[in-house]
Amino acid sequence: MKAVGLYQYLPINENDALMDMELDMPWATGRDLLVEVKAISVNPVDTKVRAPKEQVEENPRILGWDASGVVVAVGENTELFSVGDEVYYAGDITRQGSNSEFQLVDERIVGKKPASLSFAEAAALPLTTITAWEGLFDRLGISKQGADAGKTILIVGGAGGVGSIAIQLAAQLAKLNVIATASRQETREWCQKLGAARVINHRKPLHTELTEQGIDAVDYIFSLNSTDRHWPAIVEAIAPQGRICSIVEINNANIDLLKTKSATFVWEFMFTRSMYQTPDMIEQHTLLNEVADLIDKKVLETTLNTVISPINAENLRQAHATIEQGSAIGKIVLEGWNS
């Protein structure tokens, strides 16, 4: 089968950073599905895993943690899917990724593909949707039934992949007053289109931007990039007894600054359930199915913004470069394999 992989971790401008290759077809056992991959999308985690380091792989490393496709075989213990089902999923960072024609994935982290979406449109969603859903509803404890309606959330990095779905979930399901951050005209318009009531500029001090909008504090903050850089403003902006969630590493943030506000800080890492095989691992299957229904009911929409074809090393290097530049809006998807 065709795949795009690596042996060395190199700068993306080097051809060997991602290479076209032929691999043996995997075999489904246990609770695994074998999926024929139709489309994939690229996330910042892909570029972080691929980032230059001295490590060299003896066997090819296949990246990619977003895919949509068709189930072509199932393991003997599967219960949720059958051959022929159309699916979408983000996979497991401890296993081979989705940048291959066929992929093994545990059915408990797979959802039914939204029927109203193409494979490309569906592939844009899984990783960022799981991250946003878990961040908002599991980590921040926001009610998805609207019990917290009218409360205010600040989403730092609203135009990226996670921000694009988080805005929709916060506005449409939770009925929150959504404030997103974006620095360019096109990203501001993107956030507003998805449901942000206000958009402020993260190139400027966030608390100053909020006070100019007449907002002294926010109930929730969902930080999707540069948490270190924004930390002083985040501490200032969070309401007493408010809740903060970050999906990116922090190195210099002083958590003690939250003490007087009794504010909560939590992490979101969407691979936790699959990495540790948690007892509630199947929650990702459930939430992806729920999101598929919301997509088909037109409550939510895909965050796809760019499609590249076919899936090959050259095009994947291009997508990685765009992500590393920090200029992507929504999601970049690759679809189709050269025959």
- Rounded to the nearest angstrom, the gap between the alpha carbon of residue 180 and the centroid of all alpha carbons in its chain is 17
pLDDT in tens, 112-126: 999 999 999 999 999
pLDDT of residue 168 exceeding 90, the answer is yes
Contact 42, 323 (CB under 8 A): yes
Q: What is the mean pLDDT of residues 264-282?
A: 97
pLDDT in tens, 62-77: 999 999 999 999 999 9
pLDDT at res. 78: 98
For the CA atoms of 242, 269, 181, 299, the dihedral, rounded to the nearest 10 degrees, stands at -90
pLDDT at res. 271: 97
pLDDT in tens, 197-248: 999 998 888 888 999 989 999 999 999 999 999 999 999 999 999 999 999 9
Residue with tokens 């074809």: 309
Q: Residue 305 and residue 123: Cα distance in Å, rounded?
A: 12
Q: What is the mean pLDDT of residues 325-338?
A: 91
Kind of pairing, strands 86-89 and 110-112?
antiparallel
pLDDT at res. 339: 66
Confirm whether pTM is higher than 0.85. yes
Q: Residue 230 and residue 246: Cα distance in Å, rounded?
A: 11
pLDDT in tens, 118-147: 999 999 999 999 999 999 999 999 999 999
Contact 62, 4 (CB under 8 A): yes
Neighbours of 197 (CB within 10 A): 15
pLDDT at res. 205: 87
pLDDT confidence of 22, banded at 50, 70, 90?
Answer: very high
pLDDT of residue 10 exceeding 70, the answer is yes
CA torsion sign, 161 to 94 to 49 to 264? positive
Mean pLDDT over all residues of the chain? 96
pLDDT in tens, 321-330: 999 998 788 9
List domains and CATH numbers for the chain: 2-125+274-335 (3.90.180.10), 129-267 (3.40.50.720)
pLDDT in tens, 94-115: 999 999 999 999 999 999 999 9
pLDDT confidence of 252, banded at 50, 70, 90?
Answer: confident
Closest CA to 7 of 47, 38, 50, 67: 50
Contact 301, 331 (CB under 8 A): no
